[in-house]
């Protein structure tokens, strides 16, 4: 390598610099909602063949671009001084399974409570469930940070944009970080409503094709669109 090429390499910006800044801001925003306190969550965003992911062991409320790490699609670290989240395999699997650019995982209190007490899928107590593509499934328990957990969540996300993880937490996917953060907040709200309904007894459920009909109605009304 020539001296000129070496100098250019040394002064070249690290990859995904703007994405890492956006990721850090999204992490702080998520922490401010109370959905992911302390280090109880992680976020990622993909650009091309690289993924920026929040650093392991870093409080989300204190996340900075420097503490976000870049990995390739095999999980190999290519930039960043710290270590990537222990759930990197989960993020890569969720992104690959859904094609979504942004992934958010958290130990949100109500989502984690229901993931520790229910099985199969969340009961459909509110029509907002349509935002996730159908009833939110609960992935069977697997140890955190493992390939087995990644595969369990991959299956739960089939045709869905959100899932719970038994005795663990929740994961959502979306085209953008802003949408992923919003979707995690919505899932936690929906889990709280479900928890309260179950406390009162046997809630009425939305059954049959009604959830699909609600989704079609929402799309017709352009709910969630800035130009609606």
Domains of the chain: 3-221 (3.40.225.10)
Nearest to 101 by CA among 139, 54, 48: 48
The pLDDT profile of the chain, 228 residues, written as one tens digit per residue, is 445 444 444 555 789 999 999 999 999 999 999 999 899 999 999 999 999 999 999 999 999 999 999 999 999 999 998 899 999 999 999 999 999 999 999 999 999 999 999 999 999 999 999 999 999 999 999 999 999 999 999 999 999 999 999 999 999 999 999 999 999 999 999 999 999 999 999 999 988 788 778 767 666 666 555 444
Burial of 32 (0-12, 13-18, 19+ CB in 10 A): exposed
CA distance 197 to 29: 28
Collapse the DSSP code of 51 into the 3-class scheme (helix H, G, I; strand E, B; otherwise coil) and give the result. strand
pTM of the model: 0.88
Q: Catalytic residue numbers? A: 87
């Amino acid at each position: 390598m020539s001296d000129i090429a070496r100098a250019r390499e040394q002064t070249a910006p690290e990859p995904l610099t703007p994405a890492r800044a956006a990721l850090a801001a999204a992490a702080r925003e998520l922490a401010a909602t109370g959905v992911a306190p302390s280090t109880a969550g992680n976020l990622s965003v993909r650009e091309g063949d690289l993924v920026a992911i929040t650093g392991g062991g870093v409080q989300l409320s204190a996340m900075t671009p420097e503490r976000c790490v870049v990995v390739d699609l095999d999980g190999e670290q290519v930039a960043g001084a710290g270590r990537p989240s222990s759930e990197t395999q989960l993020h890569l699997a969720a992104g690959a399974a859904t094609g979504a650019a942004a992934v958010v995982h958290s130990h949100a209190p109500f989502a984690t409570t229901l993931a520790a007490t229910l099985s199969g899928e969340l009961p459909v107590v509110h029509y907002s469930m349509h935002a996730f593509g159908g009833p939110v499934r609960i992935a069977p328990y697997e140890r955190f940070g493992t390939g087995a957990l990644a595969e369990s969540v991959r299956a739960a996300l089939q045709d869905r944009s959100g899932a719970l993880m038994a005795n663990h937490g929740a994961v959502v996917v979306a085209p953008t970080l802003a949408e992923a953060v919003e979707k995690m907040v919505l899932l936690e709200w929906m889990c709280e409503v479900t928890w309260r309904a179950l406390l009162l007894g046997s809630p009425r459920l939305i059954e049959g094709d009604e959830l699909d009909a609600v989704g079609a109605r929402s799309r017709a009304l352009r709910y969630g669109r800035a130009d609606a």
